[in-house]
Amino acid sequence: MVGTNAIRGSRVGSGPMGESERGEAAPRFFVSYWCAKGHETRPSFARDDEIEVPEVWDCPTCGLPAGQDRDNPPEPPRIEPYKTHLAYVKERRSDGDGAALLAEALESMRARGVGGGAPQA
């Protein structure tokens, strides 16, 4: 049975926690990014000669792209409406092409005896 004054979440005398256990943290620097809605985010990067700071960062508040220029943030991406398969087919084929393909497919099915419909004259 557990006593009423037990410390939950860690063991007494379990050892050091934090930096001494994981080692020293690398020196870091912060870069400010602003999105089109004016949100600022400041991710940190390790100081390294080979580090390349990204030009664009996703805003954690609204999800829009954010840039380093506060007065000229990146444009929000244009959202294309979802297209159905039929919409893509209609982009590639005219109504006449579709009617011709349908007639050809129906004729092929009737020749094989599929569909049970009487042939049209």
Distance CA 65, CA 74 (A): 6
Alpha-helical (H) ranges within the chain are 19-22, 85-92, 95-112
Report whether 50 contacts 11 (CB < 8 A). Answer: no
Distance CA 113, CA 106 (A): 10
Q: Is 35 annotated as a binding residue?
A: yes
Tokens of 75: 């444009």
Q: Is 49 annotated as a binding residue?
A: no
Residue list, annotated binding site for Zn(2+)? 35, 39, 59, 62
Residues belonging to the binding site are 35, 39, 59, 62
